[in-house]
Amino acid sequence: MHDADLTPVTVLTGFLGSGKTTLLNHLVRQPAMRDALVVINEFGDIGLDHRLVAKGDEHSVVEMSSGCLCCTIRGDLSRSVQQAWEAIERDGGRPISRMLIETTGLADPAPILHTLMTDHWLAHRFRLDGVVCLVDAANGVSTLNAHRESQRQAAIADRLLLTKTDLVDEEQLSRLACQLATINPAAEQLQVCHGELAAEHVIGGGLPAQGRRADHWLRAASYSQVSPAAGISPPTQGALVSMMAPASYPTLTRHGEQIRSFCFTVEHPIEPEVLEDWLDLLMSLLGEKILRVKAIVKIAGREQPLALHGVQNIFHPPVTLPAEACPDGVSRFVFITNGVAPEAVTRLFDYFQAPQAEQSPTPP
Ligand SMILES: Nc1nc2c(ncn2[C@@H]2O[C@H](COP(=O)(O)OP(=O)(O)OP(=O)(O)O)[C@@H](O)[C@H]2O)c(=O)[nH]1
């Protein structure tokens, strides 16, 4: 099935009490959310949030309260959505137009994105539209400093919604905005008060169908830029191994996190095998530390560029874009990482990019 035919999914994340349910209540009433399936994941035996969300019809809200989606009940996501999908088909209802998943406040969104990409049933019906993270303006700075989940939620998001803006002054708001821009320089930031926001600001944040405006999706210019080490001889096998060793990772913060993001650009078209070998090895060595990769890639011998989208070590099937999506022929890879130096990425690329004769006999 073509990517454009898959049903879009928005993951709504944000720390405990950041205002997810309040926002959801406004969203579900809007025409853009018609026929949407809303999945609410609550922590604990007695789920309450789902009762607070208005229901459009009997199928539109699925509650999952037996654990946290990111840890214990990933299989349940597929089963619950499948049941809702089949019930709608059985009852002759209109097909699901989109899905919105509200995570628990403590969830790491990466495993949820993994499930969407790797679960056979889900991956054949749904595509990730975007990750939207709510940050409580009143507590945001302290929450980001104290809780690694909150940093990861903000880092991985396509959009950041600063909520409870009625409770803070301009200075507090701009301090939070700056901190968020450091964690995630590309994500658009919007302010929300009491959940009042047009659904269009929440949905539609992903790679657009048919790849139009893919540059807007990538936002490559927002990141610090790194390129291959031109003119420097490719690293030896030994140098690569030591570069990838944990001891050479940059110092971690006291919470064990050092989230950083950068854009790696390659000026010339990339041979498909170089791309494959480089990403394969990168993901197998550092996959857990690579929170998200987005790329528009110009492949040698192909007129149409590809859009790549990966979460940790899992990649979504590449999407072919129109030639205009990469007018200058430059490939751009955006990496959002936790403790990975840009040099580890670029030097590994140099290794595979170098003429075969200059490489060590086998990859590290
Ligand atoms: N003052 C103010 N309060 C808000 C705003 N948005 C939400 N709240 C309140 O904040 C509290 C938490 O909001 P929820 O929407 O339940 O937050 P949540 O993210 O769903 O919470 P969890 O499910 O516990 O993670 C509620 O009492 C809301 O009424 C806002 O913009 N301003």
3-state SS of 171-222?
HHHHHHHHHHHHHCCCCEEEEECCCCCCHHHCCCCCCCHHHCCHHHHHCHHH
- Give me the residue label for tokens 């459009």: 56
**Cα–Cα distance between 28 and 55 in angstroms, integer?**
8
Nearest Cα residue to 202 out of 213, 190, 219:
190
ipTM over 0.90 threshold: yes
What pLDDT does 68 receive? Answer: 56
Task: List strands edge to edge, sheet with 7-14.
Answer: 61-64, 36-41, 98-102, 7-14, 126-136, 159-163, 188-192
If one residue of 13, 21, 70 were mutated to test the ligand 1 pocket, choosing by the most ligand atoms within 8 A of its CB, it would be: 21
| Pocket flag, ligand 1, residue 21 (CB < 6 Å) | yes
| Pocket flag, ligand 1, residue 323 (CB < 6 Å) | no
Domain chopping of the chain, boundaries? 3-206, 211-358
Query: How many angstroms separate the alpha carbon of residue 22 from the centre of ligand 1?
Result: 6
**Residue 200, burial from CB neighbour count under 10 angstroms (0-12, 13-18, 19+):** exposed
**Cα–Cα distance between 263 and 222 in angstroms, integer?**
8
Instruction: State the CATH architecture for 211-358.
Output: 2-Layer Sandwich (3.30)
What pLDDT does 298 receive? Answer: 95
The 3 state secondary structure assigned to 58-111 is: CCCEEEECCCCCCCCCHHHHHHHHHHHHHHHHHCCCCCCCEEEEECCCCCCHHH
- Give the chain's end-to-end CA distance (angstroms, integer): 37
CA of 193, closest atom in ligand 1: 31
Residues with Cβ within 8 Å of 78's Cβ and at least 6 positions away in sequence, in order, are 115, 119, 121, 122
What pLDDT does 10 receive? Answer: 94
Q: Output helix, strand, coil percentages for the chain, rounded to the nearest 5.
A: 40, 25, 40
The CATH superfamily label for domain 3-206 reads P-loop containing nucleotide triphosphate hydrolases (3.40.50.300)
**Cα–Cα distance between 112 and 210 in angstroms, integer?**
24
| Pocket flag, ligand 1, residue 17 (CB < 6 Å) | yes
What pLDDT does 233 receive? Answer: 60
> Which of the 8 DSSP states describes residue 304?
S
**Residue 3, burial from CB neighbour count under 10 angstroms (0-12, 13-18, 19+):** middle
Query: How many angstroms separate the alpha carbon of residue 136 from the centre of ligand 1?
Result: 8
Low-confidence ranges of the chain (pLDDT < 50): 44-59, 247-256, 357
| Pocket flag, ligand 1, residue 48 (CB < 6 Å) | no
Helix (H) or strand (E) holding 282: helix 272-286
pTM of the model: 0.75
| Pocket flag, ligand 1, residue 195 (CB < 6 Å) | yes
Amino acid (one-letter) located at 196: E
**Cα–Cα distance between 220 and 297 in angstroms, integer?**
12
Query: How many angstroms separate the alpha carbon of residue 143 from the centre of ligand 1?
Result: 15
What pLDDT does 254 receive? Answer: 37
| Pocket flag, ligand 1, residue 19 (CB < 6 Å) | yes
CA of 25, closest atom in ligand 1: 15
Residues with Cβ within 8 Å of 266's Cβ and at least 6 positions away in sequence, in order, are 227, 228, 330, 331, 333, 349
Question: At 310, is the secondary structure helix, strand, or coil?
Answer: strand
| Pocket flag, ligand 1, residue 18 (CB < 6 Å) | yes
Phi, psi of 310 (to 5 degrees): -130, 150
- Tokens in use for 27? 């969203």
Query: How many angstroms separate the alpha carbon of residue 16 from the centre of ligand 1?
Result: 9
**Cα–Cα distance between 258 and 84 in angstroms, integer?**
39
| Pocket flag, ligand 1, residue 346 (CB < 6 Å) | no
- Tokens in use for 170? 């301009």
Query: How many angstroms separate the alpha carbon of residue 40 from the centre of ligand 1?
Result: 15
What pLDDT does 147 receive? Answer: 81
**Cα–Cα distance between 93 and 91 in angstroms, integer?**
5
- Tokens in use for 42? 């609550």
What pLDDT does 45 receive? Answer: 39
Length of the chain: 364
CA of 49, closest atom in ligand 1: 23
74-103: b (≥16 Cβ within 10 Å) or e? bebbbebbeebbeebeeeeeeebebbbbbb
CB 159 within 8 A of CB 188: yes
